[in-house]
């Protein structure tokens, strides 16, 4: 998958990129920070710029994929590929994606420290 730069780094751009990734069924971990901006799959930048990206599947198939994801999140955890917990130096976007995967109530408005703290509390509650 070809990658493209999108910048500058800002909360608004991070949210825009994560929302576009979700609309295209691209995992949020594909949105990575780098100096001055983000490194993302080209399809995301094309989507944001209004260009028609090549859809990997039809609307019916993507609807079915979205439904199967919801089912796997709600009860069949053994069948889903586990998401790796980010380390402290990892980007805020990685922590946000991980926390949202855990269904925690965090947004891009939270600081990285707040997101990490929410993840730690959730992990302590499950231990």
Whether residues 65 and 119 share a domain: the answer is no
Give the CB-side neighbour count of residue 65, counting CA atoms within 13 A. 13
Q: What is the mean pLDDT of each run of 10 residues along the chain (127 residues)?
A: 83 88 89 87 86 50 43 44 75 84 86 90 83
- Residues 6 or more apart whose Cβ sits within 8 Å of residue 51: none
Cis bond upstream, residue 8 (ω within 30) = yes
Residue where a domain terminates, one of 59, 76, 93: 76
3-state secondary structure of 63: helix
Whether residues 51 and 103 share a domain: the answer is no
Quick one: pLDDT at residue 68?
41
Whether residues 61 and 91 share a domain: the answer is no
Strands 3-6 vs 37-41: parallel, antiparallel or unpaired: antiparallel
User: Which residues form the domain of 101?
Assistant: 83-127
Quick one: pLDDT at residue 86?
82
Whether residues 103 and 60 share a domain: the answer is no
Quick one: pLDDT at residue 71?
42
Answer yes or no: are the C-beta atoms of 92 and 33 closer than 8 Å.
yes
Q: Domain count of the chain?
A: 2
Quick one: pLDDT at residue 82?
60
Quick one: pLDDT at residue 81?
54
């Amino acid at each position: 998958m070809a990658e493209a730069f999108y910048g500058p780094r800002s909360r608004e751009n991070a949210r825009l990129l994560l929302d576009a990734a979700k609309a295209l069924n691209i995992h949020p971990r594909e949105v990575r920070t780098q100096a001055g901006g983000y490194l993302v799959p080209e399809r995301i930048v094309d989507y944001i710029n209004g260009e028609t990206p090549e859809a990997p599947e039809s609307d019916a198939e993507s609807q079915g994929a979205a439904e199967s994801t919801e089912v796997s999140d709600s009860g069949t955890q053994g069948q889903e590929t586990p998401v790796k917990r980010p380390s402290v130096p990892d980007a805020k976007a990685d922590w946000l994606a991980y926390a949202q995967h855990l269904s925690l109530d965090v947004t891009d408005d939270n600081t990285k420290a707040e997101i990490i703290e929410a993840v730690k509390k959730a992990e302590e509650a499950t231990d």
